[in-house]
Amino acid sequence: MQKHNKYLVITIWIATIAFIGAGFVGWGSYQYGSKAGNIAKVGDIEIGKAQFDMAYSDLYQRYNQMLQGKLDEKKAREMGLAQQAFSSLAAQALLMNLANRFGIIISEKELADKLAEVPAFQTDGHFDKRVYETYLKNRRLKAKTFEKTIHDELLVQKLFSLLDSKSLPFEEEVLSSALSISDKIAYKVLTPDDVKVDIDEAKIKKFWEAHKSDYMTAKKYRLDILWTDSKDTNVTDQELNDFYRQNSFNYIDDSGRQLTLDEARDAVMTDLKMKKSKKHAQKQYIAYKKGKLNKSETRIVLLNDPSLSPEVWKEVLSHDAGTILKPKPVKSRYATIKIDAVIEPKEMNFEDARKQVISGYTKEMKKEALAKLAQSTLKNIDGKNATVSDFVTLDSQTPLNPLNIQESLQFLQKLFTSGKEKGMITIEDKSVVYRVLEQKFGTLNGTENKELVKKSVNLIKSRDLQSNLIKSLGEQYPVKKFVEGI
């Protein structure tokens, strides 16, 4: 049973370095100590500070968005963002060495055409040099640095287009056979509700003693804040039109479509008022620092409290208590902040942590009990004491009751790559015990299915080519790092 499923273990590796539209930000830049122009050299290709800063900044922003603005430099170091950014650049540099050896070049026209295609740099469907220059200025980028990034991406793309190897009929046949396998299974879905845990006070306290460090008070900050509001700042229609024209690439909808001035008027108005009130905020900062202005309020807030912006938190986390920070934007006003005190986390006592401890203890005990129940269920599972499915395939879209469609797809992916006739598969907090009763091969028919197989084969071959090529190039071209921390 399942002996053909080895063909279903498919991992698709795609390496893309995408800077356009990512919004290169100044905060999040990794600090390195070298004063030289480059941070590393891979073969004949040099990796500059500016390139690394762009890659790191892009990566930092994407992770920060995924973490809903809760990423800071400490967490970024723990996640190894600097190393990830450098690895991407080093892999690209290896490929560029090969492209240079083959004599592949990117002409100025190709580069210009690529820049002209970027919607963010267009006005009425045509490349607008002023918009492009404003984009670079707002993100503190030199045109030379940005255009080198685009040039390098195009060079690698051209290299892979020349090395591209299309699918062969035999390869398509093998993958088609693998994808057409279907199983009829007997299964039982076990959930935490199927087991009971007794709440024993002595055991709970023992659990707490062993996990005290998991129950800490939250880190807090006592902040004195001087607010500078921008809502009463006067703005003319001409100023609004000029500001929008120079920054129109910042105003897009969820689909990536650039908004018109009328559609984005409120956001444009807010941004322009903030820009015009920045100088006033700086004057108030100086007056506050000299003791000529009083704070607006004092707040005690949790670390990364969403009422303050990620930019503010970055500044707070990089300074000590007693520091007065320069004004930073928070929604439609500026905040000049004095870090009055840092209230560090400490272990909670049992009474304060009791509810959390009971929840943690119950979850842990149910997990252990569920694993034991699954083991005993597995011994005797068959078509008589379990639910029997219809024949299912890797991409079956019918849920296996009581699993929902997402859980069913996760289960099927693990089932068809397990190679086991029976077993247990964990889906989040559930355990699915199964036995394969029958297996058969089908045929993938239809133009769409054939195209899917062809694309899958091409992606698999591309994955293998890229990973093996980079590994081989890594043995040919040495990587020399000139700074630490990457």
Stretch (H or E) spanning 176: helix 169-179
Q: What is the CA radius of gyration of the chain?
A: 29
Q: What digits encode the pLDDT tens for the residues 55-84?
A: 998 899 888 888 888 888 888 888 999 999
- Specify whether the CB–CB gap between 15 and 466 falls below 8 A: yes
Expressed as residue numbers, the domain containing 319 is: 218-343
What local confidence, expressed as pLDDT, does residue 447 receive?
Answer: 60
Q: Last residue of some domain: 343, 361, 394?
A: 343
Residue 175 placed within a domain: no
Query: Would you list the DSSP string of 337-348?
Result: EEEEEEE---BP
103 lies in a domain?
yes
Classify residue 465: in a domain, yes or no: yes
In this structure, are 400 and 371 located in the same domain?
yes
Same domain? 269 vs 323: yes
According to DSSP H, which parts of 308-349 are helical? 310-317
Confidence band of 179 (pLDDT split at 50, 70, 90): low
89-142 pLDDT, tens digit per residue, is 999 999 999 999 999 999 999 999 999 999 889 888 889 999 999 988 888 888
How many distinct structural domains can be found in the chain?
A: 3
Per-position b or e across 46-71, b if 16+ CB within 10 A of its CB: bbbbbbbbbbbbbbbbebbeeeeeeb
**pLDDT > 50? residue 281:** yes
**Residue 30 — very low, low, confident or very high, per pLDDT cuts 50/70/90?**
very low
Tell me if 381 sits within 8 A of 188, measured CB to CB. Answer: yes
Both 13 and 65 in one domain: the answer is: yes
Q: Which range, of 16-25, 283-292, 387-396, 448-457, averages the lowest pLDDT?
A: 16-25
Boundary of a domain, candidates 317, 343, 369: 343
Q: What CATH number is given to the structural domain containing 31?
A: 1.10.4030
Beta bridge partners of 481: 40
Residue-level pLDDT at 20: 35
Q: Of 49 and 34, which is predicted with more confidence?
A: 49
Do 143 and 8 share a domain, yes or no? yes
Tell me what pLDDT residue 2 has: 42
Backbone angles phi, psi at 153, to 5 degrees: -65, -45
Q: Is residue 288 part of a domain?
A: yes
> 14 with 117, same domain?
yes
Average pLDDT over residues 267-286: 95
Report if residue 176 sits inside a domain: no
- Alpha-carbon 100 to chain mean position: 32
Examine the domain organization and report whether 7 and 77 are in the same domain.
Answer: yes
Residues 6+ apart with CB under 8 A from 354: none
* Within a domain: 421: yes
Strands 45-48 and 122-123: unpaired
Q: Are residues 251 and 282 in the same domain?
A: yes
DSSP string of 396-444, one letter each residue? --S--TTS-HHHHHHHHHHHTTT--SEEEEEETTEEEEEEEEEEEE---
What is the residue-averaged pLDDT of the chain?
Answer: 85
13 and 161 inside one domain: yes
Examine the domain organization and report whether 130 and 245 are in the same domain: no
Q: Is residue 192 reached through a cis peptide bond, with omega within 30 degrees of 0 on the bond before it?
A: no
- The domain boundary, picked from 343, 363, 385, lies at 343
Buried b (16+ CB within 10 A) or exposed e, 361-376: bbeebbeeebeebbee
Query: pLDDT tens digit string along 200-245?
Result: 899 999 999 999 988 998 899 999 999 999 988 999 999 999 999 9
Distance between CA atoms of residues 485 and 259, nearest Å: 41
**Pairing of β 328-330 and β 297-302:** unpaired
Instruction: Give domain status of residue 486, yes or no.
Output: no
DSSP one-letter code for 167: P
DSSP state of 69: T
The whole-angstrom separation of Cα 313 and Cα 319 is 10
Residue 230's CATH number: 3.10.50
Query: How far is CA 199 from each of CA 335, 355, 359, rounded to the nearest angstrom?
Result: 48, 12, 10
194 and 310 fall within a common domain: no
Higher pLDDT, 182 or 177: 182
Contact 60, 76 (CB under 8 A): yes
**Edge-to-edge strand ranges of the sheet holding 45-48:** 45-48, 38-42, 479-481
Q: What is the pLDDT of residues 304-357, one digit of tens each?
A: 898 998 889 989 998 999 999 999 999 899 999 999 999 999 999 999 999 999
- C-alpha 283/C-alpha 147 separation (Å) is 38
Closest CA to 402 of 377, 430, 372: 430
Same domain, 21 and 147: yes
Contact 40, 481 (CB under 8 A): yes
> pTM of the predicted model, to two decimals?
0.47
Q: What is the pLDDT of residues 134-170, one digit of tens each?
A: 988 888 888 998 999 999 999 999 998 888 778 888 8
Q: Longest C-alpha distance within the chain, in Å?
A: 83
pLDDT digits (tens, 9 = 90+) for 242-255: 999 999 888 988 77
Residue 405: is its pLDDT beyond 70?
yes
Both 369 and 303 in one domain: the answer is no
In a domain, residue 451? The reply is no
376-391 pLDDT, tens digit per residue, is 999 989 888 899 999 9
